[in-house]
């Protein structure tokens, strides 16, 4: 089993949520760290641990980012880290696996299962070693994590959807033995 360290300069955790019932608003977290223990010959023995700096949220609008960091949403003063720790990994097909684990967000931990695609290791063009890619998409209900802020719309519905789509793309470098 080899350990692959997440390259924070080439990895991102992105999200999107329905706004005013008409459009998706997108953002990302720019501080992501962690490790993947992975062996393509023994997928079931693999594991993943990730941490995301909640205050690294970036939506492209400073006022919105400040609101997202407030107690209405992420409450980054109280909950500075979003984390994921796997409990089970299952091979699905070459380049694909199903990962179950605990997602901790806003002080609430819940088990989720996601499908992950991964690439075979490639040599770094600068001669620094081997790198792999991992990608996942998942949808969570933000209210399951205690993030309930919303505003009613005058005609129908609410300002924000309940479901948040998560997209995580990782480049991970082979750690030295």
Banded pLDDT at 116 (limits 50, 70, 90):
very high
The number of domains in the chain is 1
- Cβ count near 90 (within 10 Å): 14
Does the pLDDT value for residue 41 go beyond 90?
Answer: no
User: Which is more confident, 177 or 163?
Assistant: 163
Residue 64 CA to residue 2 CA, distance in Å, equals: 40
pLDDT score of 128: 78
Tokens of 173: 């470098």
Give the domain extent around 127: 2-174
pLDDT tens for residues 51-100? 999 999 999 999 999 999 999 999 999 999 999 999 999 999 999 999 99
> Model pTM?
0.93
- With a CB cutoff of 8 Å and minimum separation 6, the contacts of 105 are 79, 82, 140, 145, 147
Write the CATH number for 34. 2.40.128.110
pLDDT at 56: 97
Res 146 pLDDT > 90: yes
Q: Residue 82: how many CB atoms within 10 A of its CB?
A: 24
Asked which of 42-46, 81-85, 167-171 is least confident by mean pLDDT, the reply is: 42-46
Higher pLDDT, 127 or 93: 93
pLDDT band at 111 (very low <50, low <70, confident <90, very high): very high
| CB count in 10 Å sphere of residue 72 | 12
pLDDT at residue 177 in the model = 78
Round to whole Å and give the CA distance between 66 and 63.
5
């Amino acid at each position: 089993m080899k350990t692959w360290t997440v390259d924070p300069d080439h990895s991102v955790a992105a999200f999107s949520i329905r706004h005013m019932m008409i459009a998706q608003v997108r953002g990302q977290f720019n501080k992501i760290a962690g490790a993947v223990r992975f062996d393509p010959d023994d997928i079931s023995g693999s594991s993943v641990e990730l941490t995301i700096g909640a205050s690294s949220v970036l939506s492209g609008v400073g006022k919105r980012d400040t609101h997202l960091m407030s107690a209405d949403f992420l409450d980054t003063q109280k909950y500075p880290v979003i984390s994921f720790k796997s409990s089970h990994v299952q091979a699905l097909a070459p380049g694909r696996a199903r990962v179950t684990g605990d997602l901790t967000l806003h002080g609430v931990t819940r088990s989720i299962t996601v499908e992950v695609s991964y690439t075979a290791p490639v040599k770094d063009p600068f001669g620094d070693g081997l790198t792999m890619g991992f990608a996942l998409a998942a949808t969570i209900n933000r209210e399951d994590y205690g993030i309930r802020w919303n505003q009613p719309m005058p005609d129908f519905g609410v300002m924000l959807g309940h479901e948040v789509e998560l997209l995580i793309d990782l480049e991970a470098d082979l750690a030295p033995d």
